Amino acid sequence: MLTSSHNVFDNRIYYKEILSLKKVYDEIYLVAPGDKDFVTEDGIIVRCFKKRRAWYDRIRPMRDMYKIAAEINADVYHAHEPDSFQVAVKLKRNLNKKIIYDSHEYYPEAFAEHFKGLYDVAKKFIYIYEKNLAKRADYIVTVNDILVDKFKKWNKNVELITNYPVLEGEPKKTFSEKPIFVYAGGLSEDRGILKTLEAIKIIKGDAKFVFIGNFRDKETEDKIMNFAKENLKDKDIEWTGRIGHKEVLEYLNRAFAGFVLLQPKNWRYVNSEPIKLFEYMMSKTAVIASDFPMMRNIVEGENCGLLVDPTDPEKVAEAIDYLIENKESAYKMGENGFRAVFERYNWDVNEKKLLNIYKKLEGDKIV
């Protein structure tokens, strides 16, 4: 596995793909940014290169990645960003290796956001760059139908491998008398944190609100905390910061509902199926979600929560108050969400697809 920017223990890369591959393959390496090499508790060998100094510092880290990856001499290289996949393309050309491009972001759009004055030019440049690289992949895996259709224009070997969660058993919910609403993830305005607080300010019912995660930057933290200090003194709000996976699950097991209020200014958010949505569903937690097409198909189709205009605090407040006043409906939505994840929206099907791709690249019979 090759990654230029993801954390070693990234949910998709490590806990889903790598641990699935570990069931079949004994020796798995992960080449990632970090301070020193180590072996994980699962026996995965992590080889590290020095982290980039800024988002534009790309040449030196990729040179270091190539050197490490070539030393490993793996049979298959599986890359998770355009720049790490460029390293994989070089490995294919120089060492005749099989390579997989795993695109789980809208990379042209994401990269172009760094060039606000030249967004369209930067987006087109990365689009062409990614297109030329994708043609060289032995296989492409990606996370939604929009990206599948995009890559099928350039490569016939494209597989949909969604970001659905790994099943962890049926949760045991323990509701308190005062409903607990949870947000878990990065704290930023484009993920709806300010709109959520504006809604909390005007709700009529009584509830506790827990925000799990770190702020994107100091400017965002100051703005959000100043708003809370000035407007929400009488509200029951807890800020946990970043906490471990087990602690997050403990909060979710007590959660009444969870927020997924991505903002429409970001095109990537409008056209996504956030993993957080499925994590709430898996924990039997009703959701209050942005009324975007992909999320609507799930939330409305499975009756697992409420859809709102994420830019309108009054609509968000109405949804919060509705669930406070209709607790049985919230419980039922949580149950519906869990059943949907247990039956359809889970990693098991994706694991089989991933293993089949590797078998095909080996020239073996698929499993």
Q: Which residues of the chain have pLDDT under 50?
A: 365-367
The pLDDT value given to residue 366: 42
Give the tens place of pLDDT for each residue, 142-176: 999 999 999 999 999 999 999 999 988 889 899 98
The pLDDT value given to residue 114: 81
Q: Is 9 exposed, middle or buried (0-12, 13-18, 19+ CB in 10 A)?
A: middle
Q: What is the CATH number of domain 180-343?
A: 3.40.50.2000
Structural contact between residues 33 and 58, judged by C-beta atoms closer than 8 angstroms: no
Domain with CATH 3.40.50.2000 in the chain: 11-164+346-362, 180-343
Structural contact between residues 350 and 314, judged by C-beta atoms closer than 8 angstroms: no
The pLDDT value given to residue 57: 65
Residue with token string 């898996």: 282
What is the layout of strands, in order, in the sheet containing 286-290? Answer: 236-241, 208-212, 180-184, 257-260, 286-290, 305-308
Q: What is the CATH number of domain 11-164+346-362?
A: 3.40.50.2000
The pLDDT value given to residue 364: 53
The pLDDT value given to residue 268: 84
